[in-house]
């Protein structure tokens, strides 16, 4: 697409274009950060009102039953599971991704202690999202059983890291910084051949790329609902556990919501059967209720169409940046092969932070990640081809004029 007119024509022919109407998008903004915080589904406003004004204000304590609050983690988990190739009652929406990593890792290590007690290594990736690594470190420190973390990187590729001393492999399906995408089925198969259990972090995959956990024969998965699923700021995360693993052990955050009969108020813990044992305590019902609004829009779209548009928009973005901004020091760090990337594109620029602040000041909202990385999320449910054109034109203008080079664009806030 070489002209803005061609982009507008592509938008007119786009079968997903009507879904944009389902979201509130502020005037004058091109939002390229839906991989960090998704936009607001319009239905969320009415739903929040209903939960506040009816379910809470009027229903009060009765709403645990009458509004089915108690069933929300499982009901939403089943809806979400359809986007992940999960079976019924294999997913719950609950807690944070970080906490769900802890629960999945604990369960996986427990299974390995029974099946392969000598294995003491957890493999992850140096370039993984930090919380994944921090949670592994915390687990190792808690257990005091001589576990170690082995990180794959340019020097240590996965094939050499997966030795017979490894218990668990924890990877992000799509890398948060580069957008690199793993072949889940191939990597899971490789891990299983070494007797290793897999935990997939789907934070940048759920709602963005096709995922089929069952077909991949994966073991555990976790992820966010506030990114591509548009669940709202801090909305609860999810955890998926393959049915074959669910009842083998408890996870150690054995709160009453994971009890087999929570309202018996029994003295002793008895884990629920199935995925419900991965719950811990009382859920944030207001926030969790809104997750459904984002899920309902995502479920209206055919995932193959979402992926095709994501690839086309990302391709267009990369092409236009290289063509129109190629004389500036920008380096693509996202794989060029569409089959090997998720739904964002990242470029390094020596003044990446200031360039991004200048873009945001002009209404093109992406984000910045260390080191020097400009990150642009591509969300096919509410972005069009002309949006991509306009975003790149704004970037070109900022770079050509050097208008990023101002003190106000160097000031760092707490959140980048």
Ligand X SMILES: *Cc1c(COP(=O)(O)O)cnc(C)c1O
Binding stretches for ligand X (CB under 6 A):
96-98, 129, 131-132, 172, 176, 201, 203-204, 224, 237
Q: Which residues lie closer than 8 Å to 43 by C-beta, 6 or more apart?
A: 22, 293, 296, 297
368 is catalytic: no
* Selected catalytic residue, list 341, 375, 396, 409: 375
* Selected catalytic residue, list 31, 129, 220, 409: 129
228 is catalytic: no
CB-wise, 201 or 219, nearer to ligand X? Answer: 201
* Selected catalytic residue, list 47, 74, 227, 396: 227
C-alpha angle 146/152/153, rounded to 5°?
A: 140
In 3D space, the residue among 291, 264, 241, 218 whose CA is nearest the CA of residue 100 turns out to be: 241
CB-wise, 96 or 113, nearer to ligand X? Answer: 96
CA dihedral sign, ordered 175, 302, 184, 134: positive
* Selected catalytic residue, list 33, 201, 367, 387: 201
CB-wise, 176 or 389, nearer to ligand X? Answer: 176
Rounded to a whole number of angstroms, the minimum distance from the CB of residue 240 to ligand X is 14
* Selected catalytic residue, list 147, 226, 238, 278: 226
Burial classification of residue 398, based on how many CB atoms lie within 10 Å of its CB (0-12 exposed, 13-18 middle, 19 or more buried): buried
Rounded to a whole number of angstroms, the minimum distance from the CB of residue 406 to ligand X is 30
227 is catalytic: yes
Rounded to a whole number of angstroms, the minimum distance from the CB of residue 249 to ligand X is 23
375 is catalytic: yes
Rounded to a whole number of angstroms, the minimum distance from the CB of residue 232 to ligand X is 12
- Dihedral, 241, 308, 297, 43 alpha carbons, nearest 10: 130
- The CA distance from 204 to 220, in Å, is 16
CB-wise, 55 or 132, nearer to ligand X? Answer: 132
CB-wise, 204 or 328, nearer to ligand X? Answer: 204
In 3D space, the residue among 187, 225, 175, 212 whose CA is nearest the CA of residue 343 turns out to be: 175
412 is catalytic: no
- The CA distance from 214 to 408, in Å, is 49
Rounded to a whole number of angstroms, the minimum distance from the CB of residue 160 to ligand X is 23
Given a contact cutoff of 8 angstroms between Cβ atoms, the answer to whether 354 and 327 are in contact is no
Q: Could you list the active site residues?
A: 129, 201, 226-227, 375
């Amino acid at each position: 697409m070489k002209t803005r007119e061609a982009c507008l024509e592509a938008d007119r022919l786009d079968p997903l274009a009507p879904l944009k109407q389902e979201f509130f998008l502020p005037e004058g903004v091109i939002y390229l950060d839906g991989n960090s915080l998704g936009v607001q589904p319009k239905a969320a406003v009415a739903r929040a009102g209903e939960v506040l004004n009816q379910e809470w204000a009027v229903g009060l304590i009765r709403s645990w039953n009458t509004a089915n609050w108690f069933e929300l983690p499982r009901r939403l988990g089943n809806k979400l599971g359809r986007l992940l190739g999960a079976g019924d009652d294999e997913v719950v929406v609950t807690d944070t991704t970080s906490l769900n990593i802890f629960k999945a890792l604990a369960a996986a290590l427990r299974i390995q202690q029974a099946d392969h007690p000598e294995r003491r290594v957890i493999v992850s990736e140096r370039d993984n999202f930090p919380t994944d690594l921090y949670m592994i470190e915390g687990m190792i420190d808690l257990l005091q059983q001589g576990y170690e973390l082995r990180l794959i990187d340019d020097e240590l590729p996965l094939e050499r890291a997966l030795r017979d001393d490894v218990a668990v492999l924890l990877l992000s399906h799509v890398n948060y910084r580069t957008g690199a995408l793993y072949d889940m089925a191939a990597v899971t198969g490789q891990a299983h051949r070494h007797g290793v259990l897999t935990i997939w972090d789907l934070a940048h995959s759920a709602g963005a790329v096709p995922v089929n956990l069952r077909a991949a024969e994966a073991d555990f998965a976790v992820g966010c609902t506030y990114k591509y699923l548009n669940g709202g700021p801090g909305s609860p995360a999810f955890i998926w556990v393959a049915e074959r693993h669910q009842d083998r052990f408890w996870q150690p955050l054995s709160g009453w919501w994971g009890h087999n009969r929570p309202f018996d108020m029994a003295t002793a813990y008895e884990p629920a059967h199935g995925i419900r044992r991965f719950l811990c305590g009382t859920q944030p019902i207001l926030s969790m209720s809104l997750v459904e609004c984002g899920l309902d829009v995502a479920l209206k779209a055919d995932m193959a169409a979402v992926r095709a548009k994501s690839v086309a928009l990302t391709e267009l973005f990369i092409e236009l940046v290289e063509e129109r901004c190629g004389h500036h020091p920008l380096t693509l760090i996202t794989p060029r092969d569409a089959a090997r990337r998720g739904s964002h594109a990242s470029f390094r620029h020596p003044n990446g932070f200031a360039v991004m602040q200048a873009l945001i000041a002009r209404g093109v909202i992406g984000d910045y990640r260390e080191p020097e990385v400009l990150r642009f999320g591509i969300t096919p449910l509410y972005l069009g081809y002309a949006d991509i054109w306009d975003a790149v034109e704004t970037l070109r203008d900022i770079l050509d004029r050097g208008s990023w080079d101002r003190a106000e664009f160097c000031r760092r806030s707490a959140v980048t």
